[in-house]
């Protein structure tokens, strides 16, 4: 499955309307862009630590785009091809993770989260880092992670440099938060759902929005908003960026199919955070190979969650 081709001509001119509050605009369109939200010095500190600690190591990180633990693979231009998952709590690279948490939990981010949603506090549930563009296919987050009840989780895409159009920009499909392409078929396989999303985006090409993003800009989008990445036109350009997923603190974490209760949160800079993906070990490698294998079936995912809940009850009982 390919990402939306860059030649589709997405709209890149985004002007946040002065006559609408961030919350009203976000609720109406499913996204909102803040310009220069993250200070340059905070971004520079993180990028420097990334270059120093992460790029040169042979450590097998878990990859968001491949769902496996593997070492860095670099392009001919020196950019890491794979994306990184849950970078905010690496045990082996604590200084890098601390620099990432400084961005993710900054006062500016916390204030913006409240402005676009009206909720007072948030928990951080997942993070990612991209160096080269991985051409993420169109999707909605709620299949993978969301609040329970659904639709209150939101994510942030944070530019760590001025993103050149040729690098393959991040895109959203405004007003797609109401799109439901799975409920009509019980236990619809993930692979079929992805095909449906791709078809929907193809039918709405003219509405795709890929805003020009500069260092420190942040785009927030709702868990039900369709989004992805345009194809890379010139691999000599990197697309250094972060993402993070946040949930109102009073809500339960889960996705379309399950609720995950009893999460043990840590706290940093007045924000609770969770790390779902652990550091590399042989047992973790096997565990997530199995998890990836069953992920295509909502029925199996529900049954596994029931078994896990029963086992947890037996231990506490």
The residues, ordered by sequence, that sit 6+ positions from 286 with a Cβ below 8 Å of its Cβ are none
Q: What is the largest CA-CA distance in the chain?
A: 58
Predicted local confidence at residue 316, as pLDDT: 46
pTM above 0.85, yes or no: yes
| pLDDT class of 9 with cuts at 50, 70, 90 | low
Predicted local confidence at residue 282, as pLDDT: 78
DSSP state of 120: S
For the segment 123-141, the average pLDDT, to the nearest whole number, is 98
Query: From the CB of residue 267, how many other CB atoms can be counted at a distance below 10 Å?
Result: 10
Q: Are strands 61-62 and 69-70 parallel, antiparallel or unpaired?
A: antiparallel
Q: Is the pLDDT of residue 212 over 70?
A: yes
Predicted local confidence at residue 288, as pLDDT: 72
Predicted local confidence at residue 295, as pLDDT: 56
User: Using an 8 Å Cβ cutoff, are 164 and 235 in contact?
Assistant: no
Greater pLDDT, 49 or 280: 49
Which tokens sit at 125? 């549930």
| pLDDT class of 227 with cuts at 50, 70, 90 | very high
Which tokens sit at 95? 């200084």
Backbone angles phi, psi at 65, to 5 degrees: -85, -15
User: Using an 8 Å Cβ cutoff, are 89 and 275 in contact?
Assistant: yes
Greater pLDDT, 297 or 129: 129
Predicted local confidence at residue 303, as pLDDT: 65
User: Using an 8 Å Cβ cutoff, are 193 and 143 in contact?
Assistant: yes
User: Using an 8 Å Cβ cutoff, are 112 and 22 in contact?
Assistant: yes
Q: Are strands 241-248 and 170-172 parallel, antiparallel or unpaired?
A: unpaired
| pLDDT class of 1 with cuts at 50, 70, 90 | very low
Which tokens sit at 224? 């039900």
Angle between the N-to-C axes of helices 282-294 and 298-316, in degrees from 0 to 180, rounded to the nearest 10: 130
DSSP state of 234: -
Predicted local confidence at residue 291, as pLDDT: 65
| pLDDT class of 12 with cuts at 50, 70, 90 | low
Domains of the chain: 6-316 (2.60.120.620)
The residues, ordered by sequence, that sit 6+ positions from 219 with a Cβ below 8 Å of its Cβ are 31, 32, 33, 34, 156, 157, 170, 172, 211, 213
pLDDT tens-digit map of 186-210: 989 999 999 999 999 999 999 999 9
């Amino acid at each position: 499955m390919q990402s939306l081709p860059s030649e589709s001509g997405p709209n890149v001119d985004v002007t946040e309307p002065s006559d609408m509050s961030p919350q009203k605009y976000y609720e109406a369109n499913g996204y909102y862009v803040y310009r220069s939200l993250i200070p340059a010095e905070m971004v520079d500190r993180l990028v420097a630590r990334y270059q120093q600690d992460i790029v040169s190591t042979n450590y097998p990180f878990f990859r968001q785009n491949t769902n496996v633990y593997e070492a860095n693979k670099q392009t001919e231009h020196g950019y890491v091809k794979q994306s990184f998952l849950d970078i905010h709590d690496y045990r082996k690279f604590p200084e890098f993770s601390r620099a990432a948490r400084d961005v993710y939990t900054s006062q500016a981010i916390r204030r913006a989260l409240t402005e676009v949603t009206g909720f007072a506090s948030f928990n951080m549930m997942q993070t990612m880092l991209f160096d080269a563009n991985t051409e993420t296919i169109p999707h909605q987050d709620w299949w993978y992670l969301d609040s329970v009840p659904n639709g209150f989780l939101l994510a942030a895409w944070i530019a760590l440099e001025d993103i050149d159009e040729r690098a393959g920009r991040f895109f959203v499909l405004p007003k797609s938060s109401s799109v439901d392409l799975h409920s009509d078929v019980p236990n619809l396989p993930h692979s079929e759902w992805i095909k449906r999303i791709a078809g929907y985006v193809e039918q709405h090409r003219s509405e795709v929005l890929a805003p020009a993003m500069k260092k420190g800009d942040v785009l927030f989008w709702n868990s039900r908003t369709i989004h992805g990445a345009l194809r890379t036109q010139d691999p000599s350009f990197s697309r250094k960026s972060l993402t993070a997923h946040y949930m109102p603190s009073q809500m339960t974490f889960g996705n379309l199919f399950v609720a995950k209760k009893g999460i043990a949160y840590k706290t940093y800079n007045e924000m609770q955070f969770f790390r779902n993906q652990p550091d590399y070990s042989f047992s973790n490698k096997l565990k997530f190979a199995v998890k990836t294998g069953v992920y295509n079936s909502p029925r199996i995912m529900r049954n596994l969650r029931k078994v896990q809940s029963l086992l947890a009850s037996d231990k506490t009982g």
